[in-house]
Amino acid sequence: MISEKIICAGFGGQGVMLIGQLLAYAANERGFNTLWYPSYGPETRGGTANCSVTISENPVNSPVISKADTIIVMNKPSLEKFENKIAPLGKLFINSSLIDQKTSRTDIEAYYIPANEIAGKLGNFKVANMIILGAYLEKTHLFDDQLIIKLLAKLFGESKAHLIALNNEALVAGRNYFNKNYR
């Protein structure tokens, strides 16, 4: 049975809201019940931002996640704030390009993905979010890249259609990094 509670967190502008939206829309496309709940700091770009996503075969009654199955953190303040919200045996995806510390938790699975470094090699640091999303999707097998790219194209519209190929490349790079280092 599918039931996944996810928190994505980082600085505004790192694309954590987009990760959450894509997961929620993908869940909706696949017929699951879902809820996406964004939370912004005082500034949109550069301030803190996080969102929670619940994906379930059962009805979702609340946007509040007391213990997450998965947490994706893109910066160190997010790790410090959310590390203790992971349920035992949960998954923590850390952008190790910007976070130089390991988790203190021994009861969870931790994955260190150098998302910014890989994005730099692809020529655009803004796709770091797609790299870490690719790693998450490779671990969970929740959704395939085709669905994510289809939804991304819908969200981006014509004005950003030229960025779809790069984002697809980033998803694949995240999956490949995960396979190479954690399989």
Domain boundary assignment for the chain? 3-182
Annotation: CATH topology of 3-182? Pyruvate-ferredoxin Oxidoreductase; domain 3 (3.40.920)
Question: What pLDDT shows up at residue 2?
Answer: 87
Tell me the pLDDT tens digit for each residue of 118-143: 999 999 999 999 999 999 999 999 99
Q: What amino acid occupies position 53?
A: V
Tell me the pLDDT tens digit for each residue of 60-104: 988 889 999 999 999 999 999 999 999 999 999 999 999 999 999
| Residues 6+ away with beta carbon under 8 Å from 129 | 10, 14, 15, 16, 18, 19, 74, 115
Question: What pLDDT shows up at residue 46?
Answer: 60
Q: In this model, does residue 36 exceed pLDDT 70?
A: yes
Residue 183: pLDDT band (50, 70, 90) is: confident
Question: What pLDDT shows up at residue 64?
Answer: 86
Q: How far apart are the first and last CA of the chain?
A: 23
- Residue whose C-alpha is closest to residue 50's, from 38, 67, 36, 34: 38
Question: What pLDDT shows up at residue 8?
Answer: 98
How far apart are the C-alpha atoms of 158 and 108, rounded to whole Å?
A: 41
How far apart are the C-alpha atoms of 15 and 12, rounded to whole Å?
A: 7
157: alpha, beta or left? (left if phi > 0; alpha if psi -120 to 50): left
Question: What pLDDT shows up at residue 113?
Answer: 98
Question: What pLDDT shows up at residue 44?
Answer: 54
Beta-sheet strand order (sheet of 48-56): 33-40, 48-56, 3-11, 68-73, 86-95, 109-113
Run of H or E residues at 89: strand 86-95
- The mean of the pLDDT values for the chain is 94
Question: What pLDDT shows up at residue 12?
Answer: 86
Q: Note the pTM of the prediction, 2 decimals.
A: 0.95
Question: What pLDDT shows up at residue 1?
Answer: 79
Chain-centre distance of CA 11, in angstroms? 13
Mean pLDDT across 136-151: 97
